[in-house]
Amino acid sequence: MPDPRVLLFWDAERFAGPWFAKTVTGESGYMWDAYLLYGPNARWDAAPGPLIDSGGTIIDAVGAVLQKMSDVDYDSAGNVVGFGVSLMPTAHQFTVNGQTLYTWCALDTFLYTALLDLPAHVVSHCPVTARPIALAMTPQGISELTPASTVISLVIPNGSVADCRRSAFCNHGHFFATAEVGATWLHDHPDGIILSVADAHRLGRLLADHRMLLARHRVTEYGEHP
C-alpha cells in the first residue's frame, strides 16, 4: 500500500486468522475480511489493546453502501463495472497503466489521473464537429494535446460540485475541438462553463486533493469518535 503508515505482512502459515479470532474476538474459526481498530495508546501485551472497534465483513459492508448509491453500473452477475471510471465504453476512453477504461465525463479524466497518480492517455471526440481529440497527461501536467485548441465543458448543479449525479453533472462534460465550438454548447446550457485543458487539469488536481483530504478526515474522525 502507498501509505507509509501501513505495514503489510504476509502470513504464509495462516497463523494470524485463527489467533485473532480466538484471542481478540473470543470466537473459533478463521478471522478474515475484517478490521480491528486500536487507539493511539494501544499496546501489545498478551493481545493488542484496548480494542476500540471491530467489524466485518468489509466486503459485505462495501456492498451495502453501494446499494444505497445511485449511478453505479453493474454487469449481469452483479459485479460493479462503473462508477466514474467504467469498464463500459463511453465517449471518453481513458488508458492508464496499460489498461483501457472509460470515464463518464471529460473532467473525470483529469480527476482520476490525479487520484491514481499515474500517467494517462485519453481519446475522445468533439460532439459537435466529430473531430477526434487525443490527450496525454501526468498528474503534474499535459504532455500532448490534439488539437491544441481543445476545451472542456461542465455544469455545476445548484452551484455545488458535491451534487455530481451522472444525469446532472457527468452527462454535460464534453471535449470540444475549439472554444468557439464550445460556445455553441454554452448557448444552450447557461448554467455551464467552458474550461481550457490546462485549467481542467488544475481543477482535477484540486478535486483529487479535496477528496483525499475528506477521506483522511473521516478516517481520523472515525478513529477518535467510533
Catalytic residue IDs:
105, 108, 170
CB 133 within 8 A of CB 150: yes
Q: How far apart are CA 94 and CA 82, in angstroms?
A: 13
Closest CA to 146 of 130, 135, 159: 135
**Calpha distance 113→135 (Å, rounded):** 12
SS3 47: coil
* Element (DSSP H or E) covering residue 146: strand 141-146
State the Cα angle at 164 between 163 and 165, rounded to 5°.
105
Among candidate residues 140, 146, 112, the one with its CA nearest the CA of residue 102: 112
Place of cell 453501494: 66
